[in-house]
Amino acid sequence: MRISVLNVSAKLALSGFLITVILAALSATTLIGLLYSSHDRGFNIPEMDRVQSHYSDSRLIAAMKGPMYQYVTEDGDIDVIAKWIADGAQDDGFFKDEVMYIISEDCQKCHSRNSQMSKAITSMPFSSYEDIVQYTEGGYSWTQMARTAHIHLFGIAVFLVIVSMIMAYSSFRPWMKSLLISAGWIALWLDIGSWWMARFYSGFAYVISVAGTVEIVAVCAMSGLCLLNLWCRLPAIVLEPAEQ
């Protein structure tokens, strides 16, 4: 069976689905661009340091790089604190001499139980090791990960199996079909798996970006190719030999 031999109604049904999937993929891409760039409108290329920060940085570092950046005296200060966290965030001499100095210069004025500054955050004091260490764990928690993963895996599985099956019954060469279908599923697992792995090694942020890109490209490619196959005559070069 081939989708090209379906009746017109069925072709319309599949086409509606495939076009909607492409629109949804564009929306998702837009969302990712907004979340990982400093812009709040338009289509944006995600900024790698933000992706990395979201998936692997502790709340403390993410805040210093993000919303609290204006209060950081120099970028090197963030590196000092990141080094301390990477070394295990211990209550050691380095913490007392280096980290607390930066915290007291850059954070404590507002992050203090008694602060009366206009932007005081008395509920999140940074006065002691105990106050600070709770913001040093990086990336997704187990609960966040489990919640986000189950929603995305179920949701993506459902539309991707339909796209894949349409692709499987298109007239393209078998290697093209197998390649795109496999790429879609494997990229999905790599992407979501890396959300979690980035917590342990920030390099997985690159896997997230590449796998996410492959995922979007594979979905859009399959949808686009199937649409062509439904309504157009295709050049022989892309078709399965039996179809030529």
Partner 1 sequence: MRSFMQTPAGYIGSLVLLSGAALSCALSSAVQAANETLTSVKTDTTIILDGMAESAWDKAPELSIQLDNLPYKADNYGGMSSVNVRLKSLYDEHFIYLLVQYNDPTKSLARFPWEKQADGSWKQLKGKDQTGHDNVFYEDKLALLWNINARGFAKKGCDVACHMQDDSGKINGFDQTGKAPGRKYTRDGETIDIWHWKSVRMNPLGLIDDQYIDSVNDPAVNGEWGRHGDSKTGGGYVDNVNAEKTGPAFMNRTQGNVDGYTITPSQKTPFVDTFREGDRIPGIMSEPFTGSRGDIWAKGDWRDGRWTIEIKRALVTTGENAGVQDVQFSDLSKAYSFGVSVFDNSQIDHLYHEGAYDLIFK
Single-letter residue type at 35: L
Tell the smallest beta-carbon distance from residue 47 to partner 1 (Å): 6
Distance of CA 223 to the CA centre of its chain: 22
- 213 is in the binding site of which of its own copies, partner 1, none (Cβ under 5 to 8 A by kind)? partner 1
136 touches 55 (CB < 8 A): no
Tell the smallest beta-carbon distance from residue 45 to partner 1 (Å): 4
- 46 is in the binding site of which of partner 1, its own copies, none (Cβ under 5 to 8 A by kind)? partner 1
Rounded-to-integer distance, Cα 81 and Cα 87, Å? 10
Residue of 12, 35, 48, 153 that binds partner 1 (CB under 8 A) = 48
Rank residues 5 and 236 by Cβ distance to partner 1 and give the closer one: 236
215 touches 188 (CB < 8 A): yes
- 214 is in the binding site of which of partner 1, its own copies, none (Cβ under 5 to 8 A by kind)? partner 1
Q: Which of 32, 21, 25 is nearest to 216 (CA)?
A: 25
161 touches 181 (CB < 8 A): no
* 139 is a site residue for its own copies (CB under 8 A): no
* 15 is a site residue for partner 1 (CB under 8 A): no
Rounded-to-integer distance, Cα 212 and Cα 215, Å? 5
* 20 is a site residue for its own copies (CB under 8 A): yes
Tokens matching residue 62: 């993410």
* 182 is a site residue for its own copies (CB under 8 A): yes
Residue of 16, 49, 79, 144 that binds partner 1 (CB under 8 A) = 49
* 210 is a site residue for partner 1 (CB under 8 A): yes
Rank residues 80 and 168 by Cβ distance to its own copies and give the closer one: 168
Helix spans in 36-58 (H) = 48-56
